[in-house]
Structure formats: structure tokens, C-alpha cells
Structure 1
Amino acid sequence: MGGAQSLELPPAKGPHKVGCTDVMADGTRQGSFFRLYYPCEASGQVKQPRWIPQYEYCGGLADYLDRNKRWCAPALNLAFGYHEVPVEWNAPFKTAEKYPLIIFSHGLGAFRTVYSAVCNEIASRGFIVAAVEHRDESACTTFFFKSPVEDLEQQVEATTSAEQFAWRPESPQAHPPTLEEEWLPYRKLVKGEDEFSLRNEQVHQRVAECSRTLDLFTDINNGKLITNVLLGNLDLSIMKGCIDLQRVAVMGHSFGGSTAILAVTKDLRFRCAVALDSWMFPLKDDIYPKVLRPVLFVNSETFQTDDSINKMKRLHSTDNEIKIITIKGSVHQSQTDFTLLTGQFLSMAFETKGTIDPVEGLDITTKASLAFLQRHSDLRKDFDQWDALLEGNGEHVILIT
């Protein structure tokens, strides 16, 4: 693999420039928190956000990996802390049309920015993408604010200082001084604890958070004033009337894949689901007959077992389309940004790269996803040029039947 200088997130290839912001709709643990990718206008002053939004996420990753935080967190910060996402931070939203919406759910031990390459590429093709950061204790860490929400709203309204409005989440001063963060760590299994009970409870909370995020976009589209307690970020009111709520899909990786599957059974506003290397373990058997929406599975070659593939096949019914494809030479981390940002040593330690070129693997993932989204969201786009991938036609693609 190349040296550290060549490790970076690729720019998106679609026709739209992509803007990015963070949204925390209220400061409580129950509120929506997500990174938003959206088509934007070109802005004169381009700022790119850090890929690791705050140092605490390095400590969270160390905890999740069960490494000593005192040495591992600084090492992770050294390896990843300088990376930036090739998007325009808080760029003006492009109001030219109505955009379909994707709610994206992250995997176990991840956080909202870990799928920036996929989310950025999809947004560049004319989508609004909200990458939720889950508060079910499955993220490596996340945060909310200790103040009651009414206090936060008063503080937001009262804050006029230019210095505070210049605040960015990746800056060393990670929040306005009046707001105190409370960090929620990754919850490890207790010895003797039944894992299925925990994961099933978490996947239901995750679905509720995805639906709550969709509720928020419904309010934004209808012109309701939404307070973003992360001061100085994009004014969401500009998106009024620009969200195509008839074309909403849910997407996720690993634990986020099972979240996407359960979401289409519980919230019929989601027209289809894209499950990237889905972890099927958290789902109860009784949900399989209830999946009446189309689902695309994009699997890696190494993660899936015969048992999980059989579970995916059980979703077939006369009322929906289920597609299962495998990307040859890919590993579980091939659909995350880690596959692009790790060199040879870290890749061997954590198996972040397969034999397929990381950029090529992610290209197949996004193109297959876009073809499926066009087919099942009635989009007037040219994504059907990649329909062959959904049939297993391609050098690195296998169709599972």
C-alpha cells in the first residue's frame, strides 16, 4: 500500500458539489444527532471538516477495540486526526430542486463520520443524506448536552457573539462555553449477559432514532423552525420545500444494515432499504415475513456466514424485491472510510482492506446502491446504467440466489 500521504478520502464524482454540516436538533439524549451531506452551491471560502470530529472519538475507538486508552487514543489521533472530508463545511444549500432523502445508520463501534466516502458520493448524485449518530450505546462514543433543552434554546437565541458563531465542531474548543457535553461511552457486554437481548433492544432504539430523524426532515420541509444547538451551522430553514418525502430510503452498514431492514418493517415511509454487509444477528425471526419493502444486500466476501445468507434469502416474497450481491475481494471494513485511511500496518492489524482496490470496492457499493434506489424510488436519473451490478454482472460482483 502507499505511504501515509496517499491515504485520503476521494472526492465525489457526481454532478453536485457537496456541503456538510452537523445537526443536533435538541441537546438531550433523546434528540436527533446526525451529520448532513447535501448538494450545495459553490462557496468562495472552502472549509473542510475533520474526519474525526473531536478527540473523544479516538478514546471511544480505543475502548471499543479494547485497547489501553492512554496509548491507543493518541496513536489513533496521530493516524487519523489530520484527515479531512472533501466536502464544503456549511456551504449554502442548493435549492434548485427537490432531493430524495437517505437516512444512514452506522455500524457497531462507529460514529457519524465513518461512512463519509459513501455518503459524500451519494449526495453528489443529488440526494440529501443524514448519517445518524446513535445514542443506544453502540457508537464508540457520542455526546449530548447536560442543560435542559429549554435552556439550550434560550442560549442559542441569546448567542450573538461572532466568536461563538464561528465555532466548528472539529475545533479544539468543541462547544460554546455555556454548554456542557455529556459523553455516552460504548456499552460492553457484561460477563454472562445475553447478547441477543441487548442487540435486539438496541436495534429497536436505532430504528426509532432513524424515524425521529425522518420526522425532523418532515418538519423542516414543512417550514417548521428547527433549533440546531450546534451553533453557527447551516440554517436548516433554507431546505423548506426541497426534500422529496415521497422518495425516502434507509441505508446502513453492519448493525446499521439490520437497522435498515427493521426500519422498513416499522416505518413504511421508507420505500426501500440498502443493507451494506448486514449483521443479521440482532433481528428476531418473526420480522422476516413483515419485510414488504425492497432490500438490497451488498455483502463482503469474508463477513457473511451461511446462516446469515440464509436469513437474507428468507426475506424473499412475492411483494418485494430482494437482491443479494457479494463484492469479491472485500472485507467487512471495505464499506467504511477505514479502508481508505489505513496503511499496510493498520490494515493487517484490523483487517481494513481486502484484495480489491479500496476505491474500486466503494465504487461498486455506491453504484449498485444508486441503481437500486432509482429502481425502487422512481427516480428520473441515469443510475440504471449500473443495473448490471444488481444481476451480478461485473468482474468483482457475485449474485447470490
Structure 2
Amino acid sequence: RFISGQGQDQVWIPKGPNAVGCSDFMMDHTVEGTFFRLYYPCVVSDNAEKPDWIPCKGYFYGLADFMKINRGLSEKIFNYLFGSFKIPAALNGSYKQNGKYPVVIFSHGLGAFRTLYSAICTELASQGFIVASVEHRDESASATYFYHQKPQEPEKDEASPPKPNPEAPENLVEEWMYYRSLKPGESEFPLRNKQVKQRADECIKALDTLIQINAGKNMENVLQTEFDWTTLENSMDLCRIAVMGHSFGGATVVEALCKDVNFKCGIALDAWMFPLDEEIYVRVKQPIFFINSEKFQWAGNISRMRKLDSSSTSMQRKMITIKGTVHQSFPDFTFLTGNWIGKILKLKGEIDPQVGIDLCNRASLAFLQRHLGKDLYRVHLVQQVHQTSLDHSNVSILKYFHFYTTVIQCI
């Protein structure tokens, strides 16, 4: 396997049979374009470069702004705490040809960005999925960027040499977009409702981009990475597509399912249902799996989830709660802080973070196997989960046992 290091710089070690590669893709340099990190099964390479968990300084600034702390001080603190961590994937690693892989589009939560859920995304890729982790440009990410063109000098006369391509990298200027806080007196719902619609559109746009790549069309990557995107031609099973997300990304899952039937099912991790319109619930026809933390959910939010369990549809709607977890048990931060800091900042719950994310991943994979079919990750199902459909209970408590022996009944 590609991952063999035992150092502290490992965010997570994927457990599947495939080595994992990753590469960034940006189509259209403007804010209206699409931007995602792709995780995929790759060819084993012992000397492959692993990407930084936090890609660059601009993201440290974004996290500081989101947390409302000084940029200069926070950059030093964040760099000290997280600067050495690497994502367990081969940067621009060669794609592993092995038939057609199912596809997952992942949507991050409020104040996050495309790299912060690598434990989930790399695990899915190691189990034989192609995963696009979208970086949203609705001002809900703590930081993201796009480009604008440099001003072009006017032609002096007809004999002047041809103008250079305005979209060439040397003619583009990086522009950062940071998290937009609510203004004093501003109502939250109109902003979040507008954002969740844009987020769903961005997930659909990312999927459309993958569909074009799968069809062998030449899709120009503004970032000009070393990965050969043409190797992905005919690599994806477009009959097996899911959408997945955390918190605000969980609401994005529901919105995306409503907007695009290409998504065959959805997984919402500790979903924040507030941004959604009331009328959306009866319009979602695909199976949904809610995986909740113990400490985040409240009656009103659960009530919104239960609105999806309608007698008008035969689609499965399932919900579990992982005991001992908090809202931040799903992003990577939960692994990278000590117990004391993690508990103060509510990044860690009572459960071991590795156990918590392993349970989440196993449950997700079992659900995907059920609803996308074929020979995906096989989970032995035993009665270690008290679980019911949504019409019988608002939550189900997932009991955890030993790290290596815990198995999940989620279908």
C-alpha cells in the first residue's frame, strides 16, 4: 500500500485495498467556475509526494477570520499545530485502471474548505470510489480563491504582435474570497437559503465536469497540475453516483438530491437543516442516510429530518447517532489536536476520534453498497446498533465496542 509511514504527520491511514491519489481541478478561472479536489484509486508509489493538509497561508487567514482571531498570531499558531500534517494520498498520483468506479460528490461544512475532510474522502477512495470534494464559493468556506485577468494593454497599431491568451496562467491574478459573516441586524435564513442553493448547483457543476472528463472531452484545468486527466476517460460508473456532506453540507445533500436525479442517494453527516425551504422535503425521492453526532442535534433539527420520511415515497430514510461524538467529530481537526485543546474547542467528544470516524465510514460504505449496488465495500452486519426508520424514532444510539471489532448495521 502507498501509506506506510507511522509519523505524526499522518491525518488518517485509509483501510481499503487501494492506494489513494489526489489532484485539484479548477475549470473556468472566474468565481462562477468549479473547484474541487479529486480523490481516486491510484497506482502504488513509495516515493510519491503527499499534499499539505492546509494548502497555503490564505487558508490559515480564512480560519483565523472565521474564528475571529488575529491573522498574524493565528498563522503562527496554526502553522505550529497543523503545518506538518499531510493528507495520506499521492499528489497527482497515476490513476489505477480497474473498471469503472462509483462517484461521490462531497460538500464541506460552514467555515471549512475542500481539504478538511480527508479522512472520509481518502477512505472512500481506498474502497474504490472517485470522490470530488467541492470547495464552495458562496462565501460559506472560510477561504477559497479564483482568478481574474490582468488588464490588457491596448494595441498600438495593426502591426503589433498578437495578444497573448488572456486566460493563460501568466495573465491571471489570484483573488481570495473569505467567509461572510452576518451583518448586524441581518436575518440569517435568506442568506443561508441562497447559499444552499448555490452549493447544490456547485455540486451539480462538479458532477457535470466529471461526466465530461469521463466522456473524454478536453477540459482545461486552470491549475495545470501534473495529473493526466485524460486517464479518467471511461473510468466512472455514472449509474452509481452519491452526494455526501457535513453540517451545511448535509443540507446541501438534500438540496442537490432534489435538483439532480443523477444522484442516486445521499449521506448527510450531522446535517444542519435550517437553510432548506419547507417545500423541498416532499420533492426528494432518493434514499438518504443521516449520521448524527450525539451532542449537536436538537429536537427542531431532527423534526426537519423526519419530514423526509413521507408515506408518499418508498425510498429508505435512515438515521443513526454515534454515541460520544460532537459536531466536529467528522472533519479532520478532531484527529490533530490533543485531548485538552480538543475538548475546550469542542473538536473531540468522549469517543476516540479514530473510532468515531471509522464507525462513520463503515456505516457510509454499507449504505452505499446497499443503494449503489455491486461489489462495493462489504460490511458484516451484526446487532450492535439499535436502529429504526425515521417514523419510529428521532434518533438511534450507535453503541461502540472495540476499535477493530465494531461493525455496523445501517441498512
- Structure 1 counterpart of 2:371: 376
* SS class of match (2:380): helix
Pair 1:195–1:308, CA change in 2 (3 A): same
- Structure 1 counterpart of 2:317: 322
* SS class of match (1:340): helix
Residues 8 and 85 in structure 2, CA contact (< 8 A), matched pair in contact too:
no
1:44 positional shift: 5.1
1:67 positional shift: 1.2
Q: What TM-score comes out, normalization by structure 1 length?
A: 0.89
- Structure 2 counterpart of 1:93: 95
Pair 1:387–1:262, CA change in 2 (3 A): farther
Q: Matched residues, percent identical?
A: 47
Residues 320 and 398 in structure 2, CA contact (< 8 A), matched pair in contact too:
no
* SS class of match (1:364): helix
- Structure 2 counterpart of 1:350: 345
- Structure 2 counterpart of 1:336: 331
- Which is bigger in relative contact order (C-alpha 8 A, separation at least 6)? 1
The partner residue of 2:216 within 204, 208, 223 is: 223
**For 1:399 and 1:300, how far apart are their aligned partners in 2?**
17
1:381 positional shift: 2.6
Query: Which shifted more, 310-319 or 364-373?
Result: 310-319
Q: CA RMSD in A?
A: 2.2
Residues 247 and 270 in structure 2, CA contact (< 8 A), matched pair in contact too:
yes
- Structure 1 counterpart of 2:399: 395
- Structure 2 counterpart of 1:274: 267
Is 2:213 the counterpart of 1:200?
A: no
Residues 196 and 275 in structure 2, CA contact (< 8 A), matched pair in contact too:
yes
* SS class of match (1:142): strand
1:78 positional shift: 1.6
Pair 1:151–1:141, CA change in 2 (3 A): farther
**For 2:164 and 2:344, how far apart are their aligned partners in 1?**
45
Q: What TM-score comes out, normalization by structure 2 length?
A: 0.87
User: What is the letter of the counterpart of residue 333 of structure 1?
Assistant: Q
1:386 positional shift: 4.7
* SS class of match (1:104): strand
**Cα deviations by residue, 1:41-76 (Å, 9 ceiling, x for unpaired):** 113531000000011101100100111222122211
1:384 positional shift: 4.2
1:343 positional shift: 1.4
- Structure 1 counterpart of 2:392: none
Pair 1:349–1:102, CA change in 2 (3 A): same
**For 1:365 and 1:153, how far apart are their aligned partners in 2?**
45
The partner residue of 1:73 within 64, 72, 75 is: 75
1:185 positional shift: 1.0
Unaligned runs of 5+ in 1: 157-176
Residues 147 and 175 in structure 2, CA contact (< 8 A), matched pair in contact too:
yes
Residues 101 and 249 in structure 1, CA contact (< 8 A), matched pair in contact too:
yes
Unaligned runs of 5+ in 2: 1-6, 151-162, 388-395, 402-407
Residues 321 and 397 in structure 2, CA contact (< 8 A), matched pair in contact too:
no
1:370 positional shift: 0.6
User: What is the letter of the counterpart of residue 264 of structure 2?
Assistant: R
Residues 315 and 322 in structure 1, CA contact (< 8 A), matched pair in contact too:
yes
- Structure 2 counterpart of 1:166: none
Is 2:356 the counterpart of 1:361?
A: yes
**For 2:104 and 2:183, how far apart are their aligned partners in 1?**
34
Pair 1:67–1:393, CA change in 2 (3 A): closer
The partner residue of 2:251 within 258, 262, 278 is: 258
Task: Kindly name which structure, 1 or 2, has the bigger radius of gyration based on alpha carbons.
Answer: 2
Residues 248 and 271 in structure 2, CA contact (< 8 A), matched pair in contact too:
yes
User: What is the letter of the counterpart of residue 117 of structure 2?
Assistant: Y
1:7 positional shift: 6.8
**For 1:292 and 1:319, how far apart are their aligned partners in 2?**
9
* SS class of match (1:385): coil
In the TM superposition, 1:136-285 aligns within 5 A as: 136-147=138-149, 155=168, 178-285=171-278
- Structure 2 counterpart of 1:288: 281
1:180 positional shift: 1.6
Residues 27 and 152 in structure 1, CA contact (< 8 A), matched pair in contact too:
no
1:152 positional shift: 6.8
1:310 positional shift: 1.3
1:155 positional shift: 2.3
What is the number of equivalent residue pairs in this alignment?
A: 375
**Cα deviations by residue, 1:89-148 (Å, 9 ceiling, x for unpaired):** 111001221000000000000000000000000100000000000000000010001128
Pair 1:115–1:382, CA change in 2 (3 A): closer
1:236 positional shift: 1.1
1:387 positional shift: 7.5
**For 2:167 and 2:193, how far apart are their aligned partners in 1?**
37
* SS class of match (1:19): strand
In the TM superposition, 1:128-143 aligns within 5 A as: 128-143=130-145
Residues 9 and 84 in structure 2, CA contact (< 8 A), matched pair in contact too:
no
* SS class of match (1:227): coil
Pair 1:341–1:375, CA change in 2 (3 A): same
**Cα deviations by residue, 1:207-253 (Å, 9 ceiling, x for unpaired):** 00000011101101111101111123312111000111110000000
* SS class of match (1:180): strand
1:380 positional shift: 2.0
**For 2:225 and 2:307, how far apart are their aligned partners in 1?**
47
